[in-house]
Amino acid sequence: MTSEPDPYIFSTDILPSDLRFLPPLANGLLGWRVYNNIMHMGGVYNGEVETEEPAQNTYSLDTHTGIFTHTLSTASVTVSQSLYSHRYYSNMMVMEILMVRQGTSEEPITVKLVSSFTPQSKDIVFESAPDYKVGRHIQGQTTTAEFPGASCPTVHLIWIPAPLTLTLPAQQSEARWGFILVVANSVESAEASFDEGLNLMATGALRPSHEKAWKELWLQSKVEVVGSDSLCKALIGCMFYLLSAFPSIHDTSRCFGGVSPGGLSNGGDGQDYWGHVFWDQDIWMYPGIALFYPKLARAVLEYRVGTIDGAMENAQKQGYKGLKFPWESAVSGREVCPEDIYGQQEIHINGDVTLAFQHYLYLTEDLSMFTQGKGSEVIYGVADYWVSRITWNLEEKKYHLLGVMPPDEYYYNVNNSVYTNTVAKFSLQFAVELAGLLQHPAPKEWQEVADNIKIPFDEKLQYHPEYDGYIKGYPVKQADTVMLGYPLGLPMSREVRRNDLEAYEPVTDPHGPAMTWGMFAIGWLELEEAEKAQHLLEKCFNNIQGPFQVWSESSDGSGAVNFLTGMGGFLQAVLFGFTGFRVQKDSLVFSPLLPNDISELCVRGVNYLGLVSKLKSFTCQKDDAVRHCYSYTFSTSVFSGHPVTFPREPGCICKLASTSSCWPF
C-alpha cells in the first residue's frame, strides 16, 4: 500500500534552471537562498557535495522543519547535506553532513565540498579578528550610514570553516559533521552564540532544538484544503515562507527590521527593492499572520513605532504635521525610496499602517500596544498628517487629497484617489475611536475631515472611479479600487461591489504583481460566485515557480523573488475569502463558501481575543447538492466541552463575538 506524499515536503531530482527559484531559508533575522553566496548580512556556506562515482541526486525542502536536504546516493555511499537557518537561535546558520556506507566495501570514502564562500561584502569593510576556539572570526562596519549622522552598525561573524573534502573512515558505517556560522553586533554576543552552538552540537541538541521551534510554530496554525493538491501545497508554501520572514515567537527582545517583499534572503544591490519595507508588509503579509500569531503581529507594529522619528521628519520635509511613514522604509523610518515621486505622492501608506494597528486591536483587545507600546502616537500622528494634508473644496463642500499616487502606480499626481481617501477616512475614524478608549481629547478636525472627505463615486454608472477624472476602461497596474470592499470594508451595495469588480478586472495588467488576483477572488466570494473566484485565484499559480513553491512578482518569472507580497494576497483569499472571516470591532464574522473542486477547508489556531487554546480548529465542509457549506465545526469549542456543528444555510452569517457565543442570523 503506497502512502500519500507529504504536502509539506517539496522534493525534486533536478534543481531549477533559474537559481533565483531555489528555496530561501530564513528565521526572521538571517536569511539566504540555498547555494547562494550572499546572506542578509554577508556571505555564508554555499555549494554542493560531489562524488567521483555516478550518483543520484535528490533535493528536498521539508517545511515541517525548515530544513533543505541534498541527498546524493552512489553504490558505495549515501551523503546527506542539510542546511537551515536556526529557528530558535536566530543569529545562527547551520550545515550538517551525514555519510552512510552502502554495500560491502570497507574502504575509506571521500566526498568533495564545493564551496565559493568567501568572507567579504561590498556593504561591509571586514577585517580579520583572532580565531575563536575552532572558529574563524571577522568583524567590520557597514560602509555607509542610512542617513547622515547615523551610526554604522558593527557586524561580527564566527564560523567553523568547512574543509575541501570529508572522508568516511575505513570500516566505519557512518559519520556526521556539523558546521555553524553566527552573526552578532558585538564580539561578546558573537562568542556567546558560538559557544551555545558548540554546546548544542556536543549534546546532540542542535537540530532537535531547531525542529522543536518549527513544530511549536506550526502547532499554532494550519491552513489545508481537500480536493486540490496544488492549492494545498501552495498554501503550505505561503505559510512557511511568510513565517520564515518573521522573528521567533520566543524572542521578542530583538530589533525586528520588518518584512520586505523579497524577505530576508533577497534584496541585494538593485534587486528586490533593496530589502526595504513597503505597504506590502502591513496590508498584504500581516493579516494572514496576525490571525494566528498575535506576538508576530505585534512585532510588525513595534517596527512601525520604532520609525516614528523618521516618519515625523518625512512629514516636516513635506511641510505637514504629524507622521508620514515612508513609501520605502529601512531602520530609521526616513524615506529611502530612490525615486522621490513615490515618497511624495504614495501617501496611502499612512492609512495602511494604521489599518494594521486597528486590525490588531480588534483581534486582541490589547490596549497595552497603544499605551506602553506607543501605538497611539502612530494613530494620532497619522490623523494629524491627514488634517494638515487635506484641502477644502468650496464647490463640492468636501475635503480633497490632491496630487497623489494611488496603489495603481500607472497614475500619479492625481486628485482624490478613492483608495487613498477611503483609507484616510477610516484611519481618522479609528483615531477618534482610540482617543475615546484611552480618554484622550481628540481634535474635532479628525471627525470633521473623516465625515466630509470625498469618496469618488459615479452615480450614473454605479461604480467607484479610481480617482477624479479616471476614464472607465483605462488600464490598471494592480489591485486598487477593488480593495474598497476588502480589506477596507467600505459599505456598498452588492450591485456596486459587482460593478467595481467588472469594471477593473478586464483592464488589470495580466503581468502585474501577483497579489492582485487574490483581492478579486475575495470580491467574487463575497458575491457568492465561488467559481469565478477560483478562476482568478488560479491565475496566481502562474507566479509559483517549482519545485519549491517560490513566488515571482510577475507571472513571467520577473520581478522580486521570493515575492512574499503575492503569497500574502493568496493566503488572504483563502483565509478571508473561503471562510468569509472579517475582523470587526466587536466580533469575528465568518461566512464560508467553497468552489466546486474544494470539498473541505481546515483552519486551525485562529487567535481571537486570546481564545486560541480553546478554539482549536475550524473545518468547513461542503454539501455537493448545494454550492454553500453545510457545516462548520469548532473542535474543542469555546462554546461547550464537545465539538459543535452549526447548520449552514445559504446566506447564513454567524458571529463569534467576545461574549463567546455563536448564533445564526
Query: pLDDT tens digits, residue range 90-101?
Result: 999 999 999 999
For the stretch 31-81, pLDDT in tens is 778 877 665 442 223 456 777 788 899 999 999 999 999 999 999 999 999
Q: Tell me, yes or no, whether 441 and 587 share the same domain.
A: no
Q: What span, in angstroms and rounded, lies between the C-alpha atoms of 92 and 400?
A: 51
Q: Of residues 146, 409, 448, 538, which has the active-site annotation?
A: 409
**What is the domain-level CATH number for residue 391?**
1.50.10.10
Q: What span, in angstroms and rounded, lies between the C-alpha atoms of 381 and 310?
A: 12
Q: Is the distance from CB of 543 to CB of 20 less than 8 angstroms?
A: no
The residues near 54 (Cβ < 8 Å, ≥ 6 apart) are: 74
pLDDT at 263: 83
Q: Tell me, yes or no, whether 331 and 258 share the same domain.
A: no
Q: With respect to residue 358, please indicate whether it lies within any of the assigned structural domains.
A: yes
Q: What span, in angstroms and rounded, lies between the C-alpha atoms of 225 and 42?
A: 39
Domain finish residue from 143, 175, 190 = 190
Helix (H) or strand (E) holding 206: helix 206-219
DSSP track, 213-235: HHHHHHHT-EEEEES-HHHHHHH
Q: With respect to residue 529, please indicate whether it lies within any of the assigned structural domains.
A: no
Q: Tell me, yes or no, whether 185 and 232 share the same domain.
A: no
pLDDT category of residue 4 using cuts at 50, 70 and 90: confident
Apex 210 CA angle, 204 and 215, nearest 5 = 125
pLDDT at 20: 85
Q: What span, in angstroms and rounded, lies between the C-alpha atoms of 233 and 227?
A: 12
pLDDT at 616: 44
Q: Tell me, yes or no, whether 504 and 587 share the same domain.
A: no
Q: With respect to residue 231, please indicate whether it lies within any of the assigned structural domains.
A: yes
Q: With respect to residue 522, please indicate whether it lies within any of the assigned structural domains.
A: no
Q: Tell me, yes or no, whether 231 and 90 share the same domain.
A: no
CA distances from 469 to 348, 403, 411, 474, 541 (A): 19, 13, 11, 11, 34
SS3 258: coil
Q: Is the peptide bond before 108 cis (omega within 30 degrees of 0)?
A: no
Long-range contacts of 39-42 (CB under 8 A, 24+ apart): 39/93, 39/265, 40/264, 40/265, 40/267, 40/275, 41/121, 41/124, 41/155, 41/157, 41/183, 42/119, 42/120, 42/121, 42/124, 42/126, 42/155, 42/157, 42/183
Q: What span, in angstroms and rounded, lies between the C-alpha atoms of 163 and 226?
A: 47
By the 10 Å C-beta count (0-12 exposed, 13-18 middle, 19+ buried), 152 is classed as middle
Q: Is the peptide bond before 562 cis (omega within 30 degrees of 0)?
A: yes
Is there a catalytic annotation at residue 328? Answer: no
Q: Quick count: other Cβ atoms within 10 Å of Cβ 623? A: 12
Q: What's the farthest any 2 CA atoms get from each other in the chain?
A: 92
pTM to 2 decimal places: 0.92
**What is the domain-level CATH number for residue 177?**
2.70.98.40
Q: Is the distance from CB of 272 to CB of 262 less than 8 angstroms?
A: yes
Q: Tell me, yes or no, whether 269 and 302 share the same domain.
A: no
Q: With respect to residue 515, please indicate whether it lies within any of the assigned structural domains.
A: no
Q: Tell me, yes or no, whether 244 and 117 share the same domain.
A: no
Question: Which of 125, 137, 136, 253 is CA-nearest to residue 186?
Answer: 137
Q: Tell me, yes or no, whether 556 and 503 share the same domain.
A: no
For the stretch 418-446, pLDDT in tens is 999 999 999 999 999 999 999 999 999 99
Q: With respect to residue 637, please indicate whether it lies within any of the assigned structural domains.
A: yes
For the stretch 219-229, pLDDT in tens is 989 899 889 99
> Span 618-645, mean pLDDT?
42
Q: What span, in angstroms and rounded, lies between the C-alpha atoms of 339 and 60?
A: 40
Sign of CA dihedral 488, 491, 496, 498: positive
Q: What span, in angstroms and rounded, lies between the C-alpha atoms of 223 and 242?
A: 13
> Span 143-157, mean pLDDT?
85
Q: What span, in angstroms and rounded, lies between the C-alpha atoms of 405 and 417?
A: 7
For the stretch 328-339, pLDDT in tens is 999 899 999 989
What backbone torsions phi and psi does residue 221 show, to the nearest 5 degrees?
-155, 145
Q: Tell me, yes or no, whether 474 and 398 share the same domain.
A: yes
Q: With respect to residue 535, please indicate whether it lies within any of the assigned structural domains.
A: no
Tally the residues of the chain.
665
pLDDT at 526: 95
SS3 496: helix
pLDDT at 254: 63
Identity (one letter) of the amino acid at 545?
Q
Q: Quick count: other Cβ atoms within 10 Å of Cβ 638? A: 17
pLDDT category of residue 271 using cuts at 50, 70 and 90: low
Residue that has been written with the C-alpha cell 482568478 in this structure: 536
Domain extent for 223: 218-280+541-664
Sign of CA dihedral 532, 535, 539, 545: positive
SS3 358: helix
Domain finish residue from 509, 528, 554 = 509
Q: What span, in angstroms and rounded, lies between the C-alpha atoms of 179 and 435?
A: 53
For the stretch 210-254, pLDDT in tens is 999 999 999 989 899 889 999 999 999 999 999 999 988 887 556
For the stretch 349-361, pLDDT in tens is 999 999 999 999 9
Domain finish residue from 190, 208, 243 = 190
The pLDDT of residue 538 is above 80: yes
Q: With respect to residue 520, please indicate whether it lies within any of the assigned structural domains.
A: no
Q: Tell me, yes or no, whether 29 and 149 share the same domain.
A: yes
Helix (H) or strand (E) holding 431: helix 418-437
Q: What span, in angstroms and rounded, lies between the C-alpha atoms of 215 and 150?
A: 40
The residues near 516 (Cβ < 8 Å, ≥ 6 apart) are: 478, 479, 508, 569
Q: Tell me, yes or no, whether 412 and 436 share the same domain.
A: yes
Q: What is the average pLDDT value for the chain, to the nearest integer?
A: 87
pLDDT at 148: 82
pLDDT at 1: 47
pLDDT at 253: 57
Tell me which DSSP letter residue 609 carries.
T
pLDDT at 265: 58
By the 10 Å C-beta count (0-12 exposed, 13-18 middle, 19+ buried), 444 is classed as exposed
Q: Tell me, yes or no, whether 334 and 379 share the same domain.
A: yes
Q: What span, in angstroms and rounded, lies between the C-alpha atoms of 600 and 663?
A: 22
Q: Is the peptide bond before 130 cis (omega within 30 degrees of 0)?
A: no
For the stretch 299-315, pLDDT in tens is 999 999 999 999 999 99
Q: Is the distance from CB of 11 to CB of 58 less than 8 angstroms?
A: yes
pLDDT at 591: 82
> Span 447-459, mean pLDDT?
98
Say how many domains are in the chain.
3
By the 10 Å C-beta count (0-12 exposed, 13-18 middle, 19+ buried), 146 is classed as middle
